[in-house]
Chains A and B, each alone.
Chain A
Amino acid sequence: MYLKSIKISNFRNFTSLRTDFYPRTNVFFGQNGSGKTNLLEAIFVLCLGRSHRSASDAIIINQDANFYRIEGEIVKKSEGVQSLSVAFEKGGRKKITLNKVPLKVAELYKNFSAVIVNPEDSNIISGPPSVRRTFIDIYLAQYSQDYLRTLVDYQKILAQKNAALKKEIDPTPFSELLIEYGVSIMIKRIEFLEEIKDATSGYYHQISGGDDLCFQYKPSVNFNEGMVSKNDIKEAFESCLAKNREREKIVKTSLVGPHRDELYFSINNLPAREFGSQGEWRTAALSLKMAVYHLLRRKRKLNPLLLLDEIFAELDQKRAESLMQSFDNLGQLFLTTAVKPPEFLKRDSRNYQIEKGKIIDII
């Protein structure tokens, strides 16, 4: 798939912008604060209905407006040109349409796919656990069609159970549902992480020049590794909940379940969060996203849009070039750079110079 054109109204520092894109590499360059990253974000929101940076739609509206709207034409081999729009008005609900027909967010995930790599990604390794879960959720929802629905229901159940604990209402029926939905979330997470494990280590080895990166899924429900049958996990979940029942009543919140899952990274056998450097974290996150990109490509039988925000800041020219080579003949690519685009990017690409929320030149 590729994004043929985009029209943006009142999104971050863009009041109004319309442009066509090139089916291969698109480079956005301009000074800091010009809006390069916002343009990537707009493309991501158009594809998946949410921002990778902000959970709130109100924040991404231009400060002088009360709504944002992003429209685009997406070309897919199977369906030809499709028009897509995502709009949000303050105090209202997000409206998504595909060929003018209203669409649910879950349907967006079924139809389109995008992977973004950005400087804040080092948080996946170094930040709080919620960042790692959000990472898993955004990409697993693109990998498995039902994941998002199960997750949304899980969150509803969790909210009800927590409310029950706070108001001293019997939480048991919600605990039972929590187990049912939680088990299928864990099974999907195990499968997804298993799929990207080796590739992530491989990319890290390649980019870092020989270092080892590993990660391990640590679900809040303890079960023995290798124990992946649905029933085993269900039993482990049940006994873990039973053990924590009294404590949950005291602290008035749900202590067990996928909403407390963790992912541990280690570099050369040392915990990455404690011992890793900023550069290592970013390389690790980049490797992770590359693995995800190639997995989605294989599984979805389409090329996800790949959005690379300032990745040349940490890579030397040789590594950057070899990285770009690994995307040769693949899908559509969008990348930002504060400096003038390097020579090797000029092949098969179009360059957009951006200044103060406007495209001032296309080379």
Chain B
Amino acid sequence: MFKSAGSVERLVNQLARLPGIGRNTRLAFHILKLSKEEAFELADAIHEVKEKVGFCSVCNNISETDPCQTCSDPSRQQDIICVVEDSSDAAAIDKAEGFKGLFHVLDGRLSPLDGIGPDDLKIKSLLERIKNNNISEIIIATNPNVEGEATAIYLSRLLKPMGVKVTRIARGLPVGSDLEYADAVTLTRALEGRQDI
């Protein structure tokens, strides 16, 4: 038992590197209890994903092909780019099926506290895309928090002089909720972003 403790420790340490887990031995012991086949399948899946999945050289989204499926799909609108912080945001927007344009993944948000400035985001490749492909609109879909807002402000200042239309996704009331339960900040923003009907 003592001999194997080192490898259990190693597994715990590896799992702890994943977000939201921490040094949780329960997960390690759960893996220990799996059959050999099940455990190897998990290991294989991790192995495979790292072998096969890389990043699209155009939009920087995760992809098994380069360019990715979205970028090489001719049925998508080629002149609209939705800018997001992470691949998971692109996946969420794509799942909603309301958007048929292209994506651009910044790979983060402005956060000087974490040492992340504009140079650490995939902004240069976005500028190239706008210059080289007749892009008519950039939709900024960064998160509605301090860092996401700052990123949006930075991008709009940078992109507007290029003559491209820059829009920001609306911030406001969640569909299916009641007005009376909304907090004032959300309500104020929803009012500011009101639209003609």
Contact = CB atoms under 8 A, between A and B. Distances in A.
A219 B112 CA distance: 27
A176 B113 CA distance: 17
A160 to B, nearest CB: 5
Given A163-B112, A163-B113, A169-B117, A145 B153 contact: no
Interface stretch (B23-31, B33-41, B142-150, B160-168): B142-150
Interface residues of B, number: 18
Interface string B83-118: 000000000000000000000000000111101011
Contacts of A169: 110, 112, 117-118
Given A153-B146, A159-B113, A173 B185 contact: no
Interface in B132-173: 146-147, 149-151, 153-154, 157
Contacts of A174: 110, 112, 150
Contact of A160 (B111, B118, B153, B184): B111
A146 interface: yes
A157 B184 CA distance: 20
B73 to A, nearest CB: 33
A164 interface: yes
Interface string A148-160: 0110010011011
Interface residues of A, number: 22
A190 interface: no
Of A157, A173, A174, A176, which is in contact with the most chain B CB atoms at under 10 Å from its CB? Answer: A173
B146 A157 contact: yes
B113 A170 contact: no
B183 A173 contact: no
A172 interface: yes
A164 B119 CA distance: 13
Interface in A153-209: 153, 156-157, 159-161, 163-164, 166-167, 169-174, 176-177
Contacts of B147: 160
A149 B183 CA distance: 10
A354 to B, nearest CB: 40
B117 A172 contact: no
Nearest to A176: B153
9 contacts: A156-B146, A157-B150, A160-B113, A167-B112, A167-B117, A169-B110, A173-B110, A177-B146, A177-B149
Which 9 residue pairs across A and B have the least CB separation, nearest first?
Answer: A169-B117, A163-B112, A164-B112, A173-B150, A173-B153, A173-B154, A163-B113, A146-B184, A156-B146
